[in-house]
Amino acid sequence: MNTKVFNPFEMAQRQLDEAAALLQLDPAVHELLRWPLRELHVTLPVKMDDGSTRIFHGFRIQYNDARGPNKGGIRFHPGETVDTVRALAAWMTWKCAVVNIPLGGGKGGIICDPKALSAGELERLSRAYIRQVGRLLGLEKDVPAPDVYTTPQIMAWMMDEYSAMQGYNEYGMITGKPLALGGSAGRGDATARGGMYCLREASKALKLDLKGATTAIQGYGNAGSFAHKLGVELIGLKVVAVSDSKGGIYNPEGLDFAQVSAHKARTGSVINFPGAKNISNADLLVLDVTVLIPAALENAINEDNANRVKAKVIVELANGPTTPEADKILHDKGSYVIPDFLCNAGGVTVSYFEMVQNAYDYYWEEAIVHERLEKKMTTAFWSVHNMAQEHKVHNRLGAYLVAVNRVAEAVRLRGWA
């Protein structure tokens, strides 16, 4: 694994293969589920503020729509690769299936550094992307959403461009929009909230009291920062370490969410927070804490550091933070992992709620969104936990068994294989 470049899509395929073997999947169904059904690669000319034109490259991948329209975010990242997008589209397929919402999996991305672009350049890039991939999109076909370095404002530009192409308002073609443009209440913290509901259920399964439990959070974007806030509010966690792309901070006495957030907003990073010790992202992962929340990018926990991870419960808010080798090590040493495509499915669940509200043009109060999200996540958690216990496998494989079985059933019923 370490002698070659990490490939997230190969990892996603290996995870599927393991589940397919246990489910004794028909070989044709298995092979179909190993690959995206559709891929669109696009080239985007964008007029820059200085009058020059820059060429960007992007993707939209529709992995499998046997259970319903594709659903999945759009990422703006300088290191974006087609294999990352393929892997994320696959995980979206399993994610929608594991929480039992009637959607398939998709993902999109543009290779760019959004931090180096002005607001005008970002808008022109967003609109250029929709002009190219819009033919694949729509409430009945494929519905994007925000992901790494994309925002409600970017979703609004994309919705507006698509609506201009259609000649009428089509709010439901994208989710994660501002409330004024058909967004859903409760969408902002949905990923972290869903993860905290799963953690609460895990504490029941493990008979573990998490009030005051020491917690470290790697990544302090949307998911990580809301996990800090909600982990304290809903469960009573004691967050002692957090990090972002520039590094981390540690204070065994605990870190206050409002103060850390204000510091990051003021300085651009959590590092150098008064009263805390600066630590590296690598050090954060192996702290002696009860709960570890990886909420950054892929491949954070791998065969090199998994043996040193001390947390009893690992709450995967990031996509693909643990490699298959690390999964086995963590399972063997008794760590309880809440796998990514269950744990972070709160975001897509509330995105689905947003699609439903757009479709019938009636909007729910936030309390209703929270109540329905809690029900979906709780049911999904126990279906995965019970499947893993029944087959005596780790939770990620349990989640795959639940999800792949549901997608395979839809594929068979349609007569695809």
pLDDT digits (tens, 9 = 90+) for 338-378: 999 999 999 999 999 999 999 999 999 999 999 999 999 99
The pLDDT assigned to 6 comes to 77
**Do residues 261 and 47 lie in contact, with contact meaning Cβ atoms separated by under 8 Å?**
no
Q: Where in the chain is the domain with CATH 3.40.50.10860?
A: 37-181
The pLDDT assigned to 2 comes to 47
The pLDDT assigned to 319 comes to 85
**Do residues 296 and 218 lie in contact, with contact meaning Cβ atoms separated by under 8 Å?**
yes
Closest CA to 339 of 411, 408, 399: 399
Q: What is the C-alpha to C-alpha distance for residues 231 and 218, in angstroms, rounded to an integer?
A: 14
What number of CA atoms fall less than 13 Å from residue 187's CA on the CB side?
Answer: 24
Q: What is the C-alpha to C-alpha distance for residues 143 and 137, in angstroms, rounded to an integer?
A: 6
| pLDDT surpassing 90 at residue 77 | yes
Alpha carbon 281 to its chain's center:
19
Catalytic residue among 71, 107, 177, 376: 107
The pLDDT assigned to 324 comes to 87
Q: Which residue has the higher pLDDT, 101 or 11?
A: 101
- Under CATH, which number does the domain 184-417 receive? 3.40.50.720
- Residue 63, SS3 per DSSP: strand
| pLDDT surpassing 90 at residue 299 | no
**Do residues 262 and 215 lie in contact, with contact meaning Cβ atoms separated by under 8 Å?**
no
Fold exhibited by the domain 37-181 = Rossmann fold (3.40.50)
The pLDDT assigned to 4 comes to 61
Please name the amino acid found at residue 168: Y
- Residue 75, SS3 per DSSP: strand
Q: What is the C-alpha to C-alpha distance for residues 173 and 358, in angstroms, rounded to an integer?
A: 9
DSSP secondary structure letters along 316-367: --SSS-B-HHHHHHHHHTT-EEE-HHHHTTHHHHHHHHHHHHHHHT----HH
Using a pLDDT cut of 70, give the percent of the chain over it: 99
Q: Is 107 a catalytic residue?
A: yes
Q: Where in the chain is the domain with CATH 3.40.50.720?
A: 184-417
**Which residues, other chains included, contact 137 with Cβ-Cβ below 8 Å and sequence gap of 6+?**
60, 130, 143, 144, 162, 173, 174
Cβ atoms within 10 Å of 3's Cβ, excluding its own:
4
**Do residues 123 and 157 lie in contact, with contact meaning Cβ atoms separated by under 8 Å?**
yes
pTM score: 0.93
